[in-house]
Amino acid sequence: MKIVKVIGGLGNQMFQFALYKALQKQFPEERVLLDLHCFNGYHKHHGFEIGQLFHADYEEASLREVAKVAYPYPNYQYWRFGSRILPDRKTMLKEKPNYIFESTALTREGNTYYDGYWQHEEYFLPIREVLLQTFAFTGFEENGRNLETAHLVTNMNSCAIHVRRGDYINDKLFRNICDIKYYQHAIQMMTEKVHPEIFCVFSDDIPWCHKHLPSLLGQAETVYVDWNMGKDSFYDMHLMSLCHHQIIANSSFSWWGAWLNTNKEKIVLAPKKWWNIKDAHSPISSNWIRI
């Protein structure tokens, strides 16, 4: 039995779910389950979204099943407290603090509990086609502005720009990485490489983008996507993925927007540093450009 703990926003959930699918492929004779109990009492983001947004089948672990391989935390607060003081059990595979790729994740025999974010495509690159089908968005017909924008970015040489501010501004782990200098460099490089006809800007701080990006984008046509709010924010990821090229932030949300892009000629620009952690390993794909 293999159990993958899921927590975090949509992007992190997709990394964890991708590992779940990879484990199913690797261990076809074993039960592979999701531990969703940490979403009880978890008030960040929008809860467990995989089951709501995608046609994704999964089996959820009961607390009794979790107890066989890990500590059966019934909610987020118990996990936050217990995970800091209790030692790892032998059946637990916990991601390292520097987020290095764990080479044994897909080869461990026997019962295993996976606790981490698993932000390396090496875990699931062999099943890319399966994940493209699993993470297929639907529902644009319900929103005229998204449908119109999707038509624009698919029929023009387009580039998505993601600016993550909001909770990052005061977060020691992520702040001050993708600053204005990063976007200046990225936009200049993207313009030189592919000459986009249209830029599509996504952000949780659109006013900041209106203030700082026009001088960098010049006369290029620009769409500021400011209408997908709250539980509709996943539409931003879909639109990002439809753009021909991407400039991403140090965010799992735009990471997936770029990874789901099926354009074989795509250019993806990403920050060299992902976290403010010494010697931390970045999740950036090997064929993307780090700046």
The answer, yes or no, to whether residue 143 has pLDDT greater than 80, is: no
CA atoms 141, 146, 150, 156: torsion sign: positive
Q: How high is the pLDDT of residue 175?
A: 84
Residue range 166-182: mean pLDDT, rounded: 89
The answer, yes or no, to whether residue 141 has pLDDT greater than 90, is: no
Q: Torsion-angle region of residue 75: left (phi > 0), alpha (psi -120 to 50) or beta?
A: beta
Distance CA 11, CA 209 (A): 22
* Tokens standing for residue 237: 């990821």
Residue 142 — very low, low, confident or very high, per pLDDT cuts 50/70/90? low
Residue range 281-287: mean pLDDT, rounded: 94
Tell me the percentage of the chain whose pLDDT exceeds 70: 99
Q: Phi first, then psi: give them for residue 5, nearest 5 degrees.
A: -75, 135
Q: How high is the pLDDT of residue 169?
A: 86
* Tokens standing for residue 244: 């021909």
Q: How high is the pLDDT of residue 183?
A: 98
* Mean pLDDT, all residues of the chain: 94
Is-contact 162 251, C-beta < 8 A?
Answer: yes
Is-contact 3 93, C-beta < 8 A?
Answer: no
Q: How high is the pLDDT of residue 218?
A: 87
Residue range 154-179: mean pLDDT, rounded: 91
The answer, yes or no, to whether residue 130 has pLDDT greater than 90, is: yes
Residue range 257-285: mean pLDDT, rounded: 95
Distance CA 98, CA 113 (A): 19
Q: How many CB atoms lie within 10 A of CB 232?
A: 14
Distance CA 179, CA 181 (A): 5
Tell me the percentage of the chain whose pLDDT exceeds 90: 85
Q: Mapped to the 3 state alphabet, what secondary structure does the chain carry? A: CEEEECCCCHHHHHHHHHHHHHHHHHCCCCCEEEECHHHCCCCCCCCCCHHHHCCCCCCECCHHHHHCCCCCCCCHHHHHHHHHHCCCCCCEEECCCCCCCCCCCCCCCCCEEEECCCCCHHHCHHHHHHHHHHCCCCCHHHCHHHHHHHHHHHHCCEEEEEECCHHHCCCCCCCCCCCHHHHHHHHHHHHHHHCCCEEEEEECCHHHHHHHCHHHHCCCEEEEECCCCHHHCHHHHHHHHHCCEEECCCCHHHHHHHHCCCCCCCCEEECCCCCCCCCCCCCCCCCCEEC
Q: How high is the pLDDT of residue 131?
A: 98
Q: Phi first, then psi: give them for residue 81, nearest 5 degrees.
A: -75, -50
Residue range 169-197: mean pLDDT, rounded: 93
Q: How high is the pLDDT of residue 190?
A: 98
Residue range 129-141: mean pLDDT, rounded: 86
- Using one digit for the tens of pLDDT, what is the confidence trace for 90-125? 999 999 999 999 999 999 999 999 999 999 999 999
Residue 78 — very low, low, confident or very high, per pLDDT cuts 50/70/90? very high
Task: Say which range, 44-53, 63-72, 146-155, has the weakest mean pLDDT.
Answer: 44-53
Q: Phi first, then psi: give them for residue 198, nearest 5 degrees.
A: -150, 140
Q: How high is the pLDDT of residue 137?
A: 86
Beta strand 158-163 pairing with 112-115: unpaired
